[in-house]
Structure 1
């Protein structure tokens, strides 16, 4: 008889406390006799008996009257008011001008793996309901703000949660910084007293940083080799966001995460409520390897649609034809892509009405009548006959001034009546905060997807949000309304066409967050398809996101952005570390390159389940000019090892890579040579990998015997 799993949330009534327990972590909070909600612990597992000890620990400590009171790390929700001088998570303005909160616990409820605690203001009919949900090795938190009064309340700041971390003598932060074509660069810095602020004010998550942050004690060697505790926070929000880590000079640290309060002023009318996006906390006891495993497991089990289904090998025609999209050239590319082994053929920008360049047509999602007089169905049918699925590129949130949609509805964009309209990539942003605009976009996409057997959409956005006014009174903050409108449109399209797969793109990696990943099968991490630069981009992306969401293309040499010459082998190996896509002009490939490409695709298909769903290990110990990564299949029966060196120097011909996560008692055979290695030898001595010349790359597949 199977023993039932222990409950993930315990209400310790005698201590008026709650103990939340997930895979490898515990989180504890308590209600004080005065009705305050006190944070006690976030970290490794503890027992119910330990909570009593935590309650007797005096968290106030010595301080002067210059300290924030109470200290932020002791509060579950840091709300503006009183002598709270630390970074707050909630700030509101009442109708009488009061901008301070005084919250006390009113009620609590436990339902399965979810806890809700209602905090009510001691004077005003206003409440904040804190929600907690255990998801395997992750803890989800969000807040519902409720106006039970008869006058409006304005939300000036409404973050999703405050996260209190334990005291440590040293803290080091890891985050994913970048820019267009250089997204998700791993950035690591010691924290000093003060605030580290990561944010986007663009209306999308943006290229400058991911809404993700990791914090550890700063022992780089231990963290890299799989030791040392790490705490991490991310936000599931596809708009402007803010993450702040505030460190006091006594080592106390707390993190706030939520919708950016930049230009927010979100009204909450009488009798209304608003729920913040989810913020997610992950704790790992064994360094960044384990942290990566936990984030990947969380996305696979609780976020991304169709997780567990291997992603197809994709071909995209953008870099082959750009705006010159014609059925005959697309069909020729499709034939060659099918011969390579591609399983999904996507026609990128340029297929719709009047789209000769980037200045026209966006918003009119009907095929160009000159190029496609019978619509997209004939081409889609031909692609299906070749054994591939068919997809198209769209940018549903934008509209060109030179388009039928804009001429019919010039009021449907964000704009100030007395200010110039800002163009970006020759488009305006449609006001998805408006119900009529959302209804039109759903109708247009439904018509497109119903007009032909279309299996996939590449959903792009190539501009920030500016002129944040929808033209409607009492519509709420546009910064909030646009993202909620986007989610509504995506959800409705997926409901109407449940078999359609969606790729998220925003000028590359400008929108690759947990919010959009709950509605898209994968993400386009960067417009930069240079195979060398992609190694760093993909390395950083995989810190926060599972490889089964990371699309990577093999494109022509030189690449159109960097003009760098890179061999085909290196280009394929780089793309094979994620979701393999091909974006080169296959009509210009030689017979030798086409034959080699087919071999690489076949090799990828033999390992793709391991790459997409296995445990990823960043391999250390190699020279600085070598990038190496291994993937261990969930069953442990296959290991794929990739190694890259842009230029091999100092007469070196091989590198020795120490693998991790293997069975030391098992024997592994090289699939190509048959050479056998014990797991112990591979981990403690290493795997010798040949790397010779410029742009050297190697893939070694090991099968457990």
Structure 2
């Protein structure tokens, strides 16, 4: 069955993927009408959809046409609903009147070209089926001889079917408290999630899910869910507009805040991709579909397990010297770490955060022979070697800024804005992009560096070249660096989780979700993050107690178990760890290596049915032969010493053995009765690994 087909009798189009269908049609007047987004339907169903009259009774105060009936809501006429496209022509006209000009069906999708009925301007709507996801984006074309200003240029409108009620789920937060799961019922009006920071930011992820379930918590196993995300690493906006009669549509794209993007004569601009995912069986299925999409279509090296990492930041901060780094590397290797990353402080002038950013050469006093001797020592210990960089920023106290003060975003008549003692380089300029690529190429060629931790620690201000160019420039720089050094892996960081979107994930191997390494607070951060993103992109560290930011005391066991639910990293000062902690750490690392493929690439389930103060999650390997169950309790009360966790997704006819105790359980028992897990004391945690050993013998 083709992913997309054109049905000439109706002049309609049907797109079908894993578990979903999407349909649209051309009206006799040339408008593009939306028909369906949801569960699978057949081509024979389109006649009934076309016969269904979307015009409901209403006064002349309604938008006309209604947003839920249009494929692209473009500003103009009596369109009063949230629009996806608004332009200004050279003669001052700020209204569009688009009609279908042509269409083309491909193996995996569809392109429909809409042209203005008066002006030489077109919007090409692109659709591409990717497994259980539908990608959409728009190319805007100025075919005239006068400039056009894009005041709003979202990637797509997403009409949703009528439901009696709608509840929204999104990931809100702040610095050190990112991706907090947030859920609210929708009333008439608009829910707007956005960033105006030039980066996606910490306040919200460019991701939204909508269902008709309970207000308090999502249903994991039942109910239809629609979800929309945006692959864009700059300012963004998602708006869900619900009308009083229950009609809902979502717009997603580059934020129109201060946009006014010029489109020169003969020029075109392509919006970032927005992705829609439909799940017919609750939020478990929605999570599975997002994870599968990222693994199969987004993140580089999708089939390679991620290494156990050691990062030296919290151990040494800016005091980076070869002898202390090497001592940490020796201890990290003894724990079983496979990657050693030197964080901020290794480069010239970097005694604190006030100087040095932009000059990516090793400090001559600490590293007179460059980074190669240390990298060689780390490799000899059996680990890969990485360094921290912040290539988009520049310190005023740096050789780069002194040579090129005009390379930053700035207004000539206004003060420059510092943030973390840096400015941002204008990556919209070709000469600046070339310099950054050449500087990183020189760094990566100077020593056997395997990994870059790519950080950004400030928002974009003084956007003198606009809000789009810096992001597209960043993508070009990343793509060129990866082409020059295809074996180098990259971690995305932006003061923690300030840039963890599908756009940056397409160019990096994993993300740093938060600077907050408190293992207890990380549970909520990681819980929310994994709603939208695969665990194989989620780095988590074991750091010292008390924790650096929160000053909370936590046992080593709890810290390791929390970090083992994603990509295991270690960031404590190993020089101060006791022999007992080092030995225990080595055991935890070895245990993680036995389950990491399951954690990183398995099927994740948030386990319900536990008391409210217990967080539990399970991972089932792709083969189904291994299950890892984690449970956490900040404080066990009321004399409770165990909890029953009902495991989902197991083979009911199989037998599972506890790898530690040898106890046997049937899949049916674990599903319907539960696994009893011991949790005692404060900051209690447990890991149970179950191996499927044989089919169950029925009497």
**Which bracket does the TM-score occupy, shorter chain normalised?**
over 0.9
Q: Are 2:504 and 1:509 aligned?
A: no
Partner of 1:246: 241
Q: Are 2:393 and 1:394 aligned?
A: no
Please give the residue correspondences for 1:94-105 in structure 2 after superposition, counting only pairs within 5 Å: 94-105=89-100
Report the Cα distance in structure 1 between the residues aligned to 2:40 and 2:174, rounded to whole angstroms: 38
In structure 1, which of residues 280, 283, 307 is the aligned counterpart of residue 278 of structure 2?
A: 283
Partner of 1:167: 162
Q: Are 2:617 and 1:638 aligned?
A: no
Partner of 1:74: 69
In structure 2, which of residues 578, 584, 589 is the aligned counterpart of residue 596 of structure 1?
A: 584
**Secondary structure at the residue paired with 1:538?**
helix
Partner of 2:697: none
Partner of 1:463: 458
In structure 2, which of residues 86, 103, 108 is the aligned counterpart of residue 113 of structure 1?
A: 108
Q: Are 2:206 and 1:208 aligned?
A: no
Report the Cα distance in structure 2 between the residues aligned to 1:218 and 1:682, rounded to whole angstroms: 26
Please give the residue correspondences for 1:190-589 in structure 2 after superposition, counting only pairs within 5 Å: 190-219=185-214, 223-470=218-465, 478-589=466-577
Structure 1, residues 336-366: CA drift from partner, whole Å, max 9, x if none? 0000000000000000001000000000000
Structure 1, residues 470-508: CA drift from partner, whole Å, max 9, x if none? 4xxxxxxx2100000000000000000000000000000
In structure 2, which of residues 629, 649, 655 is the aligned counterpart of residue 667 of structure 1?
A: 655
- CA offset at residue 60 of structure 1? 1.1
Report the Cα distance in structure 2 between the residues aligned to 1:100 and 1:259, rounded to whole angstroms: 20
Structure 1, residues 428-455: CA drift from partner, whole Å, max 9, x if none? 0000011110000000000000000000
**Secondary structure at the residue paired with 1:563?**
coil
Are the aligned partners of 1:118 and 1:130 in contact in 2 as well (CA < 8 Å)?
Answer: yes
Report the Cα distance in structure 2 between the residues aligned to 1:73 and 1:358, rounded to whole angstroms: 50
Please give the residue correspondences for 1:103-182 in structure 2 after superposition, counting only pairs within 5 Å: 103-182=98-177
Structure 1, residues 521-546: CA drift from partner, whole Å, max 9, x if none? 00000000000000000000000000
Are the aligned partners of 1:312 and 1:343 in contact in 2 as well (CA < 8 Å)?
Answer: yes
Report the Cα distance in structure 2 between the residues aligned to 1:63 and 1:236, rounded to whole angstroms: 37
User: Which stretch has the larger CA shift, 237-246 or 224-233?
Assistant: 224-233
- CA offset at residue 10 of structure 1? 1.2
- CA offset at residue 111 of structure 1? 1.3
Q: Are 2:684 and 1:696 aligned?
A: yes
- CA offset at residue 218 of structure 1? 2.1
In structure 1, the gaps of 5 or more residues are: 1-5, 471-477
Partner of 1:473: none
In structure 1, which of residues 598, 618, 621 is the aligned counterpart of residue 606 of structure 2?
A: 618
Are the aligned partners of 1:222 and 1:228 in contact in 2 as well (CA < 8 Å)?
Answer: no
Structure 1, residues 6-57: CA drift from partner, whole Å, max 9, x if none? 1010111111000000000000000000000000000000011101000000
Report the Cα distance in structure 2 between the residues aligned to 1:434 and 1:568, rounded to whole angstroms: 48
- CA offset at residue 219 of structure 1? 3.1
Structure 1, residues 198-226: CA drift from partner, whole Å, max 9, x if none? 00000000000000000000236995341
Report the Cα distance in structure 2 between the residues aligned to 1:393 and 1:29, rounded to whole angstroms: 48
Report the Cα distance in structure 2 between the residues aligned to 1:449 and 1:153, rounded to whole angstroms: 42
Report the Cα distance in structure 2 between the residues aligned to 1:560 and 1:198, rounded to whole angstroms: 31
Are the aligned partners of 1:344 and 1:388 in contact in 2 as well (CA < 8 Å)?
Answer: yes
Are the aligned partners of 1:106 and 1:118 in contact in 2 as well (CA < 8 Å)?
Answer: yes
Please give the residue correspondences for 1:178-189 in structure 2 after superposition, counting only pairs within 5 Å: 178-189=173-184
Report the Cα distance in structure 2 between the residues aligned to 1:497 and 1:69, rounded to whole angstroms: 53
**Secondary structure at the residue paired with 1:224?**
coil
Structure 1, residues 55-95: CA drift from partner, whole Å, max 9, x if none? 00011111110000000000000000000000000000000
- CA offset at residue 571 of structure 1? 0.0
Report the Cα distance in structure 1 between the residues aligned to 2:656 and 2:449, rounded to whole angstroms: 43
Report the Cα distance in structure 1 between the residues aligned to 2:494 and 2:196, rounded to whole angstroms: 15
* TM-score (ref. length: structure 1): 0.98
Structure 1, residues 602-639: CA drift from partner, whole Å, max 9, x if none? 00000000000000000001001000000000100000
Report the Cα distance in structure 2 between the residues aligned to 1:392 and 1:263, rounded to whole angstroms: 36
Report the Cα distance in structure 2 between the residues aligned to 1:496 and 1:111, rounded to whole angstroms: 32
Are the aligned partners of 2:183 and 2:215 in contact in 1 as well (CA < 8 Å)?
Answer: no
- CA offset at residue 399 of structure 1? 0.2
Report the Cα distance in structure 2 between the residues aligned to 1:130 and 1:258, rounded to whole angstroms: 14
**Secondary structure at the residue paired with 1:231?**
strand
Report the Cα distance in structure 2 between the residues aligned to 1:308 and 1:701, rounded to whole angstroms: 22
Are the aligned partners of 1:640 and 1:702 in contact in 2 as well (CA < 8 Å)?
Answer: yes
Partner of 1:682: 670
Report the Cα distance in structure 1 between the residues aligned to 2:216 and 2:673, rounded to whole angstroms: 18
Are the aligned partners of 2:67 and 2:159 in contact in 1 as well (CA < 8 Å)?
Answer: yes
Partner of 1:90: 85
Partner of 1:627: 615
Report the Cα distance in structure 1 between the residues aligned to 2:293 and 2:586, rounded to whole angstroms: 34
Please give the residue correspondences for 1:19-30 in structure 2 after superposition, counting only pairs within 5 Å: 19-30=14-25
Are the aligned partners of 1:190 and 1:218 in contact in 2 as well (CA < 8 Å)?
Answer: no
Q: Are 2:37 and 1:49 aligned?
A: no
Are the aligned partners of 1:659 and 1:686 in contact in 2 as well (CA < 8 Å)?
Answer: yes
Are the aligned partners of 1:340 and 1:597 in contact in 2 as well (CA < 8 Å)?
Answer: yes
Given the superposition, is the C-alpha separation of residues 659 and 634 from structure 1 closer, same or farther in structure 2, using an over 3 Å criterion? same
Structure 1, residues 411-438: CA drift from partner, whole Å, max 9, x if none? 0000011111100000000000111100
Report the Cα distance in structure 1 between the residues aligned to 2:44 and 2:477, rounded to whole angstroms: 48
Given the superposition, is the C-alpha separation of residues 107 and 153 from structure 1 closer, same or farther in structure 2, using an over 3 Å criterion? same
Report the Cα distance in structure 2 between the residues aligned to 1:222 and 1:208, rounded to whole angstroms: 21
